[in-house]
Copies of this chain bind each other. A is one copy, B any other.
Amino acid sequence: MKKTTAGIALAMLFSPVLSFSQEKIDNEAIQKIKKEGLENSKVMDIAFHLTDVSGPRLTNSPGYMRAANYAKDEMKKWGLTNASIDPWGEFGKGWELEKSYVAMTAPYYKPLIAYPKAWCSGTGQLKNAEIFVIKAKDSTALANYKGKLAGKIIMTDRDDVYKQSFKADALRFSDATLDSMAVATAGKPVDAEEARKRREQMMNAARSQQRLSILIKNMAKEEGAVAILSVGNKNHDGTLFTQGGGSYKGSDPENFLDIMLGIEDYMSIVRLVNSGYPVKLDVDVKTAFQTKDLQGYNVIAEIPGTDPKLKNEIVMLGAHLDSWHTATGATDNAAGSAVMMEAVRIIKSLDLKPKRTIRIALWSGEEEGLLGSRGYVKKTFADPSNMQLLPAHEKLSAYYNIDNGTGKIRGIYLQGNEACRAIFTKWFEPFNDLGAKTVTINNTGGTDHQSFDAVGLPGFQFIQDPIEYNERTHHSNMDTYDHLIADDLKQMATIVASFVYNTAQREEKMPRKELPKAK
Contacts and interface: CB of A to CB of B under 8 A. Distances in A.
**Max chain B Cβ within 10 angstroms of own Cβ: one of A51, A107, A172:** A107
A113 to B, nearest CB: 6
Interface of A: 48, 51-53, 55-56, 62-63, 96-101, 103, 107-111, 113-115, 161-162, 164-172, 236-240, 262-265, 267-268, 271-272, 275, 277, 327-328, 467-468, 472, 477-478, 480-483, 485
B264 A478 contact: yes
A109 B103 contact: no
20 contacts: A53-B275, A96-B108, A99-B103, A101-B101, A111-B114, A111-B115, A113-B113, A162-B482, A164-B467, A164-B485, A166-B172, A167-B168, A169-B169, A236-B482, A237-B237, A237-B238, A237-B472, A238-B262, A264-B478, A268-B328
A111 B103 contact: no
Given A53-B277, A166-B171, A109 B99 contact: yes
A96 B105 CA distance: 12
B468 A108 contact: no
A349 to B, nearest CB: 22
Contacts of A111: 97, 100-101, 114-115
Given A166-B168, A169-B165, A272-B52, A264 B483 contact: yes
Nearest to A61: B108
Contact of A100 (B103, B275, B483): B103
A240 to B, nearest CB: 7
B267 A482 contact: yes
**Max chain B Cβ within 10 angstroms of own Cβ: one of A167, A168, A480, A482:** A482
Contacts of A52: 268, 271-272
A277 B52 CA distance: 10
Given A48-B275, A53-B277, A237-B239, 16 more contacts: A55-B107, A56-B110, A97-B109, A97-B111, A98-B109, A100-B111, A101-B101, A166-B172, A169-B169, A236-B482, A237-B237, A264-B478, A264-B480, A264-B481, A268-B481, A268-B482
The 8 closest A-B pairs by CB, nearest first: A238-B238, A55-B108, A164-B170, A162-B482, A264-B480, A100-B111, A101-B101, A52-B268
Nearest to A235: B238
Nearest to A108: B55
Contacts of A97: 109-111
A237 B478 contact: yes
Contacts of A237: 169, 237-239, 472, 478
A262 to B, nearest CB: 8
A107 B53 contact: yes
Contacts of A240: 238
A57 to B, nearest CB: 11
Contact of A238 (B96, B168, B169, B477): B477
Contacts of A483: 162, 164, 264
A405 B326 CA distance: 31
**Max chain B Cβ within 10 angstroms of own Cβ: one of A100, A108, A236:** A108
A264 B169 CA distance: 17
A166 B168 CA distance: 5
A482 B263 contact: yes
Nearest to A266: B482
A353 to B, nearest CB: 34
A472 B164 CA distance: 10
**Max chain B Cβ within 10 angstroms of own Cβ: one of A63, A109, A275:** A109
Nearest to A126: B101
Contacts of A171: 166
**Max chain B Cβ within 10 angstroms of own Cβ: one of A110, A171, A238, A327:** A238
A113 B238 contact: yes
B53 A272 contact: yes
A480 B483 CA distance: 25
Nearest to A167: B168
Contact of A170 (B48, B63, B166, B265): B166
A407 B510 CA distance: 57
A263 B238 CA distance: 13
Given A100-B103, A162-B482, A165-B170, A108 B62 contact: yes
Contacts of A55: 107-108, 110
Contacts of A236: 478, 482
A467 B165 CA distance: 9
Contact of A164 (B99, B277, B468): B468
